[in-house]
Amino acid sequence: MDINKYIESGILELYVYGALSESESSEVSRTLKEYPEVRVEVEEIEKALLTLSSAAAPYDPEFLLQSLKEKLSRRHKVIDLPKKGTNWAAYIGWAASILFLIGLFTLFNENSELRESVQALQAEKIQMETDIAEARNNAQKTQELLFVLRDKNILEVPLQGQSIAPDAYATAYWDKEKNITYIDAKDLPSPPRGMVYQVWSLKMDPLTPSSIGLLDKFESDVNKIFRLENINISEGFGITLEPEGGSTTPTMEQLYALGTVSS
């Protein structure tokens, strides 16, 4: 027998891996007994494989190895080989399992990153839709105000700042026919947190206030133009600062703007 050729054939690696048939393994076992140099080569292959397996799995998870053995035993017939008790197939299986778990972990991370990217895009889409809706709403309000300003039947009522805020200013545009009053509040200071501006229709003699609405979302409204229903026969308008949700009667100490309808 040409020993070198036999060693280079690769059959010894298959023998160590446990990948040979029963008859082939028996033949290699006989060769090991007959040729010491072949046995030395097998031992070297075993050492190299042990080093590789130890690097891939520095800990010895006996429970996992036993589970793999049981699964493999249900599919393949276990061949008892007349060699050392080291189960190389188990080492190889464990190394493959490590690589498989690494692949799963990488895939999980990639999926998580993809999911986060999708969620971020969805959030951006929602924000963009909100911005577009607000822009359309502001444009509509601006268009409505232009019609109001050009309508000769609309009464413009200046509302001057009062002692609590002398520099404050607002304008009421009263459409008697449609029972609508527009409030231009761009020169009112921003209300404190938990407070809201409330608009009152006034009868002067005796002084009788009737609420016609709140200037909600003051900060987010770009144009600061508010459309309120007003079914009253108004002789004046006032704006007070009230607790969030509004009040049944105006807080006169918090009167920010006031004006009367010209006769």
pLDDT the model gives residue 70:
54
pTM of the model: 0.50
Polymer length in residues for the chain: 263
Looking up tokens 């009737």, which residue turns up?
A: 210
Burial of 197 (0-12, 13-18, 19+ CB in 10 A): buried
pLDDT the model gives residue 94:
66
pLDDT the model gives residue 72:
44
Q: Within this chain, do residues 120 and 191 fall inside the same structural domain, yes or no? A: no
Q: Within this chain, do residues 82 and 136 fall inside the same structural domain, yes or no? A: yes
Percent of the chain with pLDDT over 90: 37
Q: Within this chain, do residues 169 and 80 fall inside the same structural domain, yes or no? A: no
The reply to whether omega before 243 is within 30° of 0 (cis) is: no
State the Rg of the chain over Cα: 44
DSSP alpha helices (H): ranges in the chain? 3-8, 11-17, 22-34, 36-56, 62-75, 88-150
Closest to 237 measured CA to CA, from 193, 183, 164, 196: 183
b/e per residue, 55-85, with b = 16+ CB within 10 A? ebbeeeeeeebeebeeeeeeeeeeeebebee
CA dist 256 → 45, 73, 189, 251 (Å):
93, 88, 9, 10
Domain extent for 234: 153-260
pLDDT the model gives residue 78:
45
Looking up tokens 């590789």, which residue turns up?
A: 52
pLDDT the model gives residue 186:
93
Q: Within this chain, do residues 221 and 166 fall inside the same structural domain, yes or no? A: yes
Other CB atoms closer than 10 Å to residue 107's CB: what's the count?
A: 10
CA–CA distance, 116 with 119 (Å, rounded to integer): 5
Q: Within this chain, do residues 146 and 157 fall inside the same structural domain, yes or no? A: no
Q: Select the highest-mean-pLDDT range: 37-51, 197-211, 219-233.
A: 197-211
Q: Within this chain, do residues 187 and 255 fall inside the same structural domain, yes or no? A: yes
